[in-house]
Amino acid sequence: DLQCIIEEHPQVFLHWLSNNTYCFKRHEIFRNKNNFYCFFFDDDVHYRNDLIESTLKLSDTYKDCIINYTNYGLVYYDGKHQLYKTPAYNYPTPNNRFCGQCMIPSWIYPQEMFTKENLDFRDKYCCICDETWLTQFIVKNKINVFNNNLPWGNELNSYNCNKIGIVSQVNTLDKDGLNFRDRCLMKIFEVFPDNKKYYEEHFNYGK
């Protein structure tokens, strides 16, 4: 199917990677130094027809900002466990949660994520959770996040990755009431202690 798309639409490029970096594969496009708007999509979701248009319109209003497609919420914790807390702030701020279904202007993407040291750490401790990892650099670099108010797209398969794939692995709670995302963050704070202070002050972390 992909080969047919490439043959019929020469403006479409398919990029192959030597290693399986799971959800981080989609971040490789940001190694391209050109300026572009990068839309992240789930391949098992049907989105509204006006998603691109409405998101770009918001981006024109709120410059240099990650735009989530839906009103995703704000970053918030109960102890060391991340919660979904809504509504989000109705203005651009690093304290809004970054969602994997979003648009990122390439020129605000933190290129330091591609240093060997950061890639090694990412692949060891945070290999299947790009939301938790990118949020560290959003906070560190004060990158604003704003929400479009579109509804979630329609899932094309009700038995999707939320139940059987990586998303399920990331969100499954252990005996201490923590999940992979929470454990990953604890490791991250060993390297980014200033981020831990920010989380404690702004996101209720550890309380």
pLDDT digits (tens, 9 = 90+) for 39-86: 999 888 899 999 999 999 999 999 999 999 999 999 999 999 999 999
- Of the given ranges (42-46, 129-133, 172-176), which has the lowest mean pLDDT? 42-46
Distance CA 184, CA 142 (A): 21
Q: Give 163's pLDDT tier (boundaries 50, 70, 90).
A: low
Concatenating the DSSP letter of every residue in the chain gives: -HHHHHHH-TT------SS--GGGGGGGGGGS-S--EEE---TTEEPPTTHHHHHHHHHHHS-SEEEESS---EEEEEBTEEEEE-SPPSS-BTTBPP-SSEEEEGGGS-GGGGSHHHHHHHHHH-TT-HHHHHHHHHHHTT-EEEE--PPPPEES-SS-HHHHSHHHHHH---TTS--HHHHHHHHHHHH-HHHHHHHHHHS-BT-
- Determine the pLDDT at residue 142: 97
Work out the average pLDDT over 95-117. Answer: 96
Distance CA 27, CA 40 (A): 9
Q: Give 16's pLDDT tier (boundaries 50, 70, 90).
A: confident
- Of the given ranges (5-19, 86-100, 108-122, 182-196), which has the lowest mean pLDDT? 5-19
What mean pLDDT is reported for the chain? 92
Q: What is the pTM of this model?
A: 0.91
- Determine the pLDDT at residue 22: 92
